[in-house]
Amino acid sequence: MISHQHRCIFIHIPRTAGTSIEDWLSPDPQWRASPEEKHLTSIQARRLYRVYWDDYFKFTFVRSPYTRSASLLSRYSSFYGVGIKKGAIHFGKYKARFGSPMTLEHDLRFYRYNELLELDSFCERPYRPHSVYGNILTESLDKVYRFEDLQDAVVDIAERLRLPAPRLAHRVAALKALDPGILQSSRSIQRVNKLYANDFEVYGYERILP
């Protein structure tokens, strides 16, 4: 998402409260204003918005890999390919959609996987295995916020953009509750740990030992 009114560029990673941020900063819902730009990777955004990239405030949100995996499962499992197998989160269809062992997550409704692979040589940081956020965020941004600190992040964004800070909630919440046992199973934890191995270290999330 780009806002010329507020001079900012937002990299929207699904299931990290991004729709709430877009609704705050954009007068029209993103799906109506420019749906093809809703879930750009940072390299796509840098190329598409290259005229504004150096001057606008660039930011994103990440989220604990465990709660994000559960959120994908509880709301958009059919699109993301996250499922349950033998009582544990299973990423088989996810990897089939987004690549294995490298995981380059993007919105398949608008972008072809091969086109993103061809952008690897233009990235500041190359794509790498066992990363989700790291392969979406290959370009340097001004700020990477955490979903868990949403309200503090909103205050900081508002100060930077000289806006009043609203009280935001996670607008697109989960559609159904999950069995806690699925999230706590050693197999689920192992799979999340492997998929996001580099992201735990880079973005400061604590890894659970199965």
pLDDT tens digits along 70-121:
888 876 666 788 888 888 999 988 888 888 888 988 876 666 777 888 899 9
Residue from 101, 124, 134 nearest 200 by CA: 134
Say if CB 68 and CB 15 are below 8 A apart.
Answer: yes
pLDDT higher for 123 or 171?
Answer: 123
In a domain, 208, yes or no: no
In a domain, 90, yes or no: yes
The number of distinct structural domains making up the chain is 1
Output the CA–CA distances (angstroms, integers) from residue 27 to 30, 33, 39, in the order listed.
9, 9, 18
Say what the pLDDT of residue 106 is: 82
**Which residues constitute the domain of residue 160?**
2-203
- pLDDT tier at 198, thresholds 50, 70, 90: very high
pLDDT in tens, 174-188: 545 566 677 788 999
In a domain, 45, yes or no: yes
Q: How far apart are CA 12 and CA 16, in angstroms?
A: 8
Say what the pLDDT of residue 175 is: 47
Say what the pLDDT of residue 105 is: 87
In a domain, 60, yes or no: yes
pLDDT in tens, 12-55: 999 999 989 999 998 776 667 777 788 899 999 999 999 999 99
In a domain, 209, yes or no: no
Output the CA–CA distances (angstroms, integers) from residue 45 to 41, 64, 82, 135, 201, in the order listed.
6, 23, 26, 13, 25
Residue 204 φ/ψ, nearest 5 degrees: 75, 30
Say what the pLDDT of residue 180 is: 66
pLDDT in tens, 141-174: 999 999 999 999 999 999 999 999 988 765 555 5
In a domain, 158, yes or no: yes
In a domain, 160, yes or no: yes
In a domain, 210, yes or no: no
